[in-house]
Amino acid sequence: MIVSNGSGRLLEGRHFDPYGEHRDDPYAFLSGVWDDEPVFYAPLLDAWCVSRREDILAVLKDDGGFSTRDHNPRPKVALPDDVAKMFKTWRGSGAVGVGSLDPPEHSRIREVLNIGFTPARVSAFEPTMQQIAAGLVEQAAMEDDFEFISTFAVPYALEVICRLLGIPEEQYGNCRRWSEQRIELMMLQQDTDPALLREYAQGLVEFGAFARAIAEDRLANPQDDLISELLHSGKSGNTLSVAEVAVQIPTLIFAGHMTCAEALGTILYQQLLSPEGWRPVVEGTVTAHGLVEEGLRFDSPLAGMYRTATRDVVVGDVHLMEGSRLLMLFGAAGRDGRAHACPAAFAPNGKSSGHLAFGYGIHFCLGAGFARAELRVAVQAIAARMPGLTLVPGQAPKYRPVFPLRALRELHVRH
């Protein structure tokens, strides 16, 4: 039994550096902790990392014992005061995305957001996904070799969520830039030119202003899009105010495209790396659904999220004091040998269920069904148009230092 002092600062902990040393392959490190110390303190993250599926589930089921208020990664180095202030208030004073809300506020907002992501709504949107995927694959096919992340994965995921929300096309580029600027600030690891940090923060202020303007516009001029629906026709007469919708728009854009783009990169990379390559997907012996689920399990695009203990708690065999910060390692749960047979092998055979790539409990991913359809549609469109897809030889794809996101920098493919 280990008893922490709360923050864990007095403990030596384990050297886990998902921004540096363990960035490309965190799983080799994690394979050494599942048996020895499945809940360990990582000084670099200033958090208690929870790596076993059953321990993560126990935390995610206990909404009273753990808060998500502070669930995002924090910059490792201090931001200049004015940048820190803009970074805290760009959505509006005290305003946070649904993922950072605890009940009962979380339940009220989430109930209205759910209307855009029911199975019926996802099915109705599939033809739009197919049309976007087909257009981008056709464009990519003009070159024999192309870089998959920037040519297909990012523009596809971005356009899909923007079309659902009703974001004007000329703003897609800004939405991407603002999302990247948010990453730069949230995951900042080293001292950086303050002028650049200011530029990122000002980008976020613009993002907040854009979201408010579009929500105001859709209140006055409703259109056939999700933003209008959240303002006008929520479930059982519940709608959200302009301010409430404006706060959630950046979250939907950010959460809706970054993870899907990453997932596509990983899925394609792992399948193309396998001995049989792309052929089983084209022939249908590996289904698009099976491939997507295995990709999500094998290298979960959102590797983890934080929680804060709201009282003294026990996680695994570790006693943690109120205020302790914990990191739920969703990706590690997918490689937990107690939950999955042969967890280190990429095997899209329809037996990938039980992964925690979309989290669990009240914060279970709002867009899980939507993302699954989006990824499946993309795989099908690529397999149909590019049956001979291979990796460009000689590359060793690397991950960006944006933990807990798992984003490949580049993936060069040939068709």
Query: What is the 8-class DSSP label of residue 152?
Result: I
Contacts to ligand HEM from residues 3-22, by CB under 6 A: none
Burial classification of residue 295, based on how many CB atoms lie within 10 Å of its CB (0-12 exposed, 13-18 middle, 19 or more buried):
buried
366 binding ligand HEM? (CB under 6 A): yes
| Whether 100 contacts 69, CB under 8 Å | yes
Which residues, 6+ apart, have CB-to-CB distance to 303 below 8 Å?
18, 26, 329, 330, 331, 332, 403, 404, 405, 406
407 binding ligand HEM? (CB under 6 A): no
370 binding ligand HEM? (CB under 6 A): yes
305 binding ligand HEM? (CB under 6 A): yes
203 binding ligand HEM? (CB under 6 A): no
Chosen residue from 146, 152, 207, 358 binding ligand HEM by CB under 6 A:
358
318 binding ligand HEM? (CB under 6 A): no
Chosen residue from 18, 65, 250, 256 binding ligand HEM by CB under 6 A:
256
Phi/psi at 164 (nearest 5 deg)? Answer: -60, -45
> Least Å distance between CB 284 and ligand HEM?
22
Neighbours of 229 (CB within 10 A): 21
Contacts to ligand HEM from residues 40-99, by CB under 6 A: 68, 71, 98-99
Q: Which helix (H) or strand (E) is 94 found in, with range?
A: none
d(CA 407, CA 150): 12
Query: Which span sits near ligand HEM by CB under 6 A: 49-57, 76-84, 211-219, 351-359?
Result: 351-359
303 binding ligand HEM? (CB under 6 A): no
Report the greatest alpha carbon distance in the chain: 60
157-173 as b/e: b if 16+ CB within 10 A: bbbbbbbbbbbeeeebe
Contacts to ligand HEM from residues 262-291, by CB under 6 A: 263
Collapsed DSSP state (helix, strand, coil) of residue 336 = coil
308 binding ligand HEM? (CB under 6 A): no
363 binding ligand HEM? (CB under 6 A): yes
Query: Contact positions toward ligand HEM, by CB under 6 A?
Result: 68, 71, 98-99, 110, 161, 251-252, 255-256, 259-260, 263, 301-302, 305, 330, 357-359, 363, 365-367, 370-371
